[in-house]
């Protein structure tokens, strides 16, 4: 039995009007109608910002030129960070480059301490392409579940010629695939189901979580993202704490917070595709001994049960659980439509 997560239906997303205005949590809205206020939470790299980007694209919240510039910079950074991670993984593996010249190229990539947030030089772009296209590197990439690599690595590396152009402007797909860490508080205002929504996204790293409480007042619903594929990974902040455990503890603290006692929580179990891919290489039972085995669906059921346990004694009517792939726009269109309808129904 395989993972049941693909969305096949052709969806018609209605035209939605959007606003560029921002309403801080500490101020009352000056709009003639009140917003349904949504708080988007989760650990760093859980996919929550991808959810926000999907909302912006699906509900016609257009990007400004400065936002395109910002995301373009991070796309270059994503590419360099990915190839550097692959070079380091190659060095630690039992695989040798098919082309020996790529060994020297990889060493220069590893030694390069620049962040690379702009157009690559011709020499650097050629190095990246040679390393990525090496047959042995592709063998290593097939093992990517064994080390931490951005999910969009192959997407951007395969498109480096298009991206490394002076006039490059990210496509909608590029915007979804790019990893851009959240800084501070972002929010969008949009209309769905004849209701006005305001969705807040706050950084998920530990240093950012102190800002969460500043947005608690007047929240009508919470979106919480967990990247279930991270069951074998540790947090970059301390290189010790298991990422999944951190996410579950975070979910529990939100569920138990008196401020959210009656606030509905919409839980997104993200990266189920990566999770299923990992299972055959990295057994879930190695990190979660309570998992007694089974197929991929059993493993996802187990992860959902862990999340439900973290929600504690919260009434079942106050939470919904969704399995998703946040970068899949078709899937997210259907999921978000369902969620917004449910929220709008609660507000009537």
Distance CA 155, CA 99 (A): 23
Angstrom distances, CA of residue 223 to CA of 79, 202, 345: 29, 12, 16
Please report which residue ranges of 23-64 form alpha helices under DSSP H.
Answer: 48-58
Angstrom distances, CA of residue 58 to CA of 215, 227, 297: 24, 22, 29
Distance CA 16, CA 11 (A): 15
42 annotated ligand binder: yes
233 annotated ligand binder: no
Taking only Cα atoms into account, the Rg of the chain, rounded to an integer number of angstroms, comes to 21
4 annotated ligand binder: no
182 annotated ligand binder: yes
Distance CA 188, CA 197 (A): 8
Sheet holding 221-227, edge to edge: 18-19, 185-192, 195-202, 36-42, 221-227, 265-270, 319-323
50 annotated ligand binder: no
Helix (H, G, I), strand (E, B) or coil at 201: strand
179 annotated ligand binder: yes
48 annotated ligand binder: yes
205 annotated ligand binder: yes
165 annotated ligand binder: no
Helix (H, G, I), strand (E, B) or coil at 17: coil
Straight-line distance from the first to the last Cα atom of the chain, in angstroms, rounded to the nearest whole number:
41
325 annotated ligand binder: no
* CB neighbour list of residue 250: distance below 8 Å, 6 or more residues apart: 41, 42, 43, 209
2 annotated ligand binder: no
For residue 176, give the nearest of 15, 333, 8 by alpha carbon: 333
202 annotated ligand binder: yes
265 annotated ligand binder: no
198 annotated ligand binder: no
Helix (H, G, I), strand (E, B) or coil at 72: helix
106 annotated ligand binder: no
43 annotated ligand binder: yes
287 annotated ligand binder: no
115 annotated ligand binder: no
270 annotated ligand binder: yes
Distance CA 169, CA 180 (A): 16
- Known binding site for Mg(2+): residues? 182
- Known binding site for GTP: residues? 42-49, 176-182, 201-205, 270-273, 326
- Known binding site: residues? 42-49, 176-182, 201-205, 270-273, 326
């Amino acid at each position: 039995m395989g993972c049941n997560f693909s969305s096949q239906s052709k969806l018609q997303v209605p035209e939605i009007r959007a606003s560029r205005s921002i309403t801080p949590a500490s101020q009352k809205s000056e709009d003639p109608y009140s917003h349904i206020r949504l708080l988007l939470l989760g650990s760093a790299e859980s996919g929550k910002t991808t959810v926000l980007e999907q909302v912006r694209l699906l509900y016609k919240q257009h990007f400004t030129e400065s936002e395109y510039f910002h995301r373009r910079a991070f796309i270059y950074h994503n590419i360099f960070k990915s190839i550097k991670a692959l070079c380091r993984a190659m060095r630690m593996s039992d695989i040798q480059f098919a082309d020996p010249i790529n060994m020297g190229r990889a060493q220069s990539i590893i030694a390069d301490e620049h962040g690379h947030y702009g157009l690559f030089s011709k020499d650097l772009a050629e190095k990246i392409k040679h390393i990525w296209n090496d047959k042995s590197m592709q063998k290593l990439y097939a093992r990517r579940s064994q080390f931490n690599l951005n999910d969009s690595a192959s997407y951007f590396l395969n498109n480096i010629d298009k991206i490394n152009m002076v006039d490059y402007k990210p496509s909608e797909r590029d915007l979804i695939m790019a990893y851009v860490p959240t800084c501070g508080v972002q929010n969008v205002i949009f209309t769905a189901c004849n209701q006005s929504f305001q969705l807040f996204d706050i950084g998920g790293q530990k240093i950012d979580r102190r800002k969460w409480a500043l947005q608690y007042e007047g929240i009508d619903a919470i979106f919480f993202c967990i990247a279930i594929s991270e069951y074998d990974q540790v947090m970059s902040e301390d290189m010790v704490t298991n990422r999944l455990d951190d996410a579950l503890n975070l979910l529990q603290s939100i569920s138990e917070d008196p401020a959210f006692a009656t606030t509905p929580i919409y839980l997104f179990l993200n990266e189920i595709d990566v999770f299923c891919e990992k299972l055959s290489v990295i057994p879930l039972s190695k990190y979660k001994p309570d998992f007694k085995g089974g197929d991929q669906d059993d493993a996802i059921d187990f992860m959902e049960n862990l999340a439900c346990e973290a929600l504690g004694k919260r009434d079942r009517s106050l939470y919904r659980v969704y399995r998703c792939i946040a970068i899949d726009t078709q899937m997210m269109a259907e999921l978000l439509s369902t969620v917004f309808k449910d929220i709008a129904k609660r507000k009537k």
